[in-house]
């Protein structure tokens, strides 16, 4: 066989291989060029009328409210910013106290260094190094897609029929949560105890949050909020306020905070993705972050913090079935890692405080004043709840019910704990 024939065969083989999706994916793993990075940064970071340098290293840009990233979304080109709903003020005093020694706060680290002027919103600036940590420029700001298997392994304490519905358990996530379903929900909230759990692996992250979902299966839609420790996204181990939305199980639609067009911010005091200053300590002082998400009559979902601070909303134009209502609410924690379930060694990334729910107040992460809102328009404790845990030997959950006292929901765990969670 001549050299020209061999060369032709090699070219043909390369052509055939290059048509395979796995080959093309490997070929695309080269780092993005400087031009691509600069273009992405220009798209993400809008011109600032004022810049604030936070003591923790974050840069906060005060951006004209009508030039924020949301308005890059094709469906929001002619969107008019909505007025804050009246029901926020009406419901401020609806949540009852249960006597826990905790303190609700609103302070973020960047606020110590300045404030944004009227007509602007504070947005955390995205840096080049933030983009370089991402799997790709296209996936920056997005959770990894949920990888599902058909399973009924979730550990269910109080709601045996839920397993029949919740057959799709993501392989790359482990959750411990309180769930309610069976009605149409137009709001949910809770006081979420704040901690800084350990994150073990470079791609791992951990959250304590609320989910409102429009469906429950391999393709779900949700709006989410709470706190997270996510070094891959934010570049450090700080506990940060976050919001998220997805229409396709984190596949390609939706993102954290304002890292893609979608969420509309309306106020200039708090910002998403920035560090929280008040963190709880074991057997010491406990701090809570009050988080609520509520639907309005136009189909928008509003995010409120500290009971009286509406941060902004997910517009109806970017939502699917959620623009009508949610059918499922979850409160709890979640760990993302490729080392979960039957993968060994299991990740050592913690959930909640990093201790199990059984430790209760002062040791375990909790949620108080758990509330739903339905078409009765009142905030109330859910009629039916169930405490769930995907991996009860790694992370668990406990709804602590005592006579005459509203339940406190505890959740969390350390992850890897041989031999129980190897």
pLDDT digits (tens, 9 = 90+) for 410-420: 999 999 999 99
pLDDT on residue 30? 79
- Give the pLDDT band of residue 170 (cuts 50, 70, 90): confident
Q: What is the pTM of this model?
A: 0.88
- Whether the pLDDT of residue 400 is over 50: the answer is yes
User: What is the token pair recorded at 327?
Assistant: 């059918």
With 90 as the cut, is the pLDDT of residue 81 above it?
yes
Range in 144-158, 190-204, 320-334, 366-380 the model is least confident about:
144-158
User: Looking at 155-164, 173-182, 210-219, 404-413, which range is the least confident one?
Assistant: 155-164
In the predicted model, what is the mean pLDDT of the chain?
88
CB 224 within 8 Å of CB 244: yes
Cα-based distances in Å from 420 to 362, 382, 392, 397, 414: 24, 33, 10, 16, 11
Burial class (CB in 10 A: 0-12, 13-18, 19+), 94: middle
The C-alpha angle with vertex 346 and arms to 344 and 348, in degrees rounded to 5, equals 150
Which pLDDT does position 303 carry in this prediction?
Answer: 98
Structure tokens belonging to residue 408: 């406190």
- Other beta carbons within 10 angstroms of residue 137's beta carbon come to 16
| Among 237-241, 273-277, 293-297, 401-405, the least confident range | 401-405
**Region 394-413: what's the mean pLDDT?**
96
pLDDT at 31 (0 to 100)? 83
Interacting residues of 211 by C-beta distance below 8 A, sequence separation 6+: 177, 222, 223, 224, 328, 329, 330, 331
SS (H, E, C) the chain: CCHHHHHHHHHHHHHHHHCCHHHHHHHCCCCCCHHHHHHHHHHHCCCEEEEEECCCCCEEEEEEHHHCHHHHCHHHCCCCCCCCCCHHHHCCCCCCCCCCCEEECCCEHHHHHCCCCCCEEEEECCCHHHHHHCCCCCCCCCCCCCCEEECCCCEECCCCCHHHHCCEEECCEEEEEEEEEEEEECEEEEEEECCCCCCCCCCCEEEEEEEEECCCCCCCCEEEEEEEECHHHHCCCCCEEEEEEECCCCCCCEEECCCCCCCEECCCCCCCCCEECCCCCCCCCEEEEEEEEEECCCCCEEEEECCCEEEEEECHHHCCHHHCCEEEEEEEEEEECCCCCCCCCCCCCCECCCCCHHHCCCCCEEEEEEEEECCCCCEECCCCCEEEECCCCCCEEEEEEECCEEEEEEEEECCCECCCEC
Q: Tell the residue number behind the tokens 């060994």, with chain if given.
A: 344
Better-scored residue on pLDDT, 359 or 14: 359
How many angstroms separate the CA atoms of 147 and 384, rounded? 28
Cis bond before residue 345 (omega within 30° of 0): yes
Confidence of residue 342 (pLDDT cuts 50, 70, 90): confident
The confidence band for 22, taking pLDDT boundaries of 50, 70 and 90, is: very low
């Amino acid at each position: 066989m001549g050299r020209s024939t061999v060369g032709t065969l090699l070219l043909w083989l390369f052509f055939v291989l290059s048509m395979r999706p796995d080959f093309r994916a490997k070929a695309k793993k080269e780092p993005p060029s400087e031009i691509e990075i600069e273009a992405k940064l220009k798209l993400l970071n809008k011109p600032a009328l004022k810049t604030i340098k936070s003591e923790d290293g974050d840069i906060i840009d005060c951006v004209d409210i009508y030039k924020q990233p949301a308005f890059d979304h094709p469906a929001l080109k002619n969107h008019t910013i909505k007025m804050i709903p009246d029901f926020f003020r009406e419901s401020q005093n609806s949540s009852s106290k249960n006597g826990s020694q905790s303190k609700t706060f609103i302070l973020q680290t960047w606020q110590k260094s300045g404030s944004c002027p009227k007509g602007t919103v504070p947005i955390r600036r995205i840096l080049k190094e933030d983009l370089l940590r991402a799997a790709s420029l296209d996936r920056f700001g997005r959770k990894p897609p949920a990888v599902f298997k058909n399973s009924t392994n979730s550990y269910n304490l109080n709601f045996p029929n839920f397993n029949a519905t919740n057959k799709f358990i993501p392989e790359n996530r482990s959750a411990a949560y309180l769930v309610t379903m069976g009605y149409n929900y137009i709001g949910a909230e809770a006081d979420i105890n704040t901690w800084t759990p350990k994150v073990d692996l470079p791609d791992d992250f951990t959250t304590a949050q609320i989910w409102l979902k429009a469906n429950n299966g391999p393709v779900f839609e949700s709006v989410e909020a709470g706190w997270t420790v996510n070094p891959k996204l934010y570049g450090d181990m700080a506990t940060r306020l976050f919001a998220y939305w997805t229409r396709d199980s984190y596949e390609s639609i939706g993102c954290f905070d304002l890292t893609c067009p979608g969420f509309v911010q309306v106020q200039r005091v708090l910002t998403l993705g920035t560090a929280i200053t008040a963190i709880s300590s074991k057997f010491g002082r406990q701090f809570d972050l009050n988080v609520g998400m509520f639907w309005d009559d136009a189909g928008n979902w509003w995010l409120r913090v500290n009971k009286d601070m509406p941060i902004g909303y997910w517009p109806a134009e970017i939502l699917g079935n959620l623009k009508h209502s949610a059918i499922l609410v979850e409160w709890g924690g979640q760990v993302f890692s490729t080392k979960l379930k039957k993968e060994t060694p299991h990740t050592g990334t913690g959930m909640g405080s990093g201790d199990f729910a059984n430790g209760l107040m002062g040791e375990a992460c909790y949620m108080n004043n758990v509330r739903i809102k339905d078409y009765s328009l009142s905030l109330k404790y859910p009629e039916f709840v169930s405490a769930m845990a995907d991996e009860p030997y790694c992370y668990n959950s406990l709804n602590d019910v005592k006579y005459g006292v509203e339940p406190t929901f505890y959740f969390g765990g350390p992850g890897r704990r041989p031999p129980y969670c190897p």
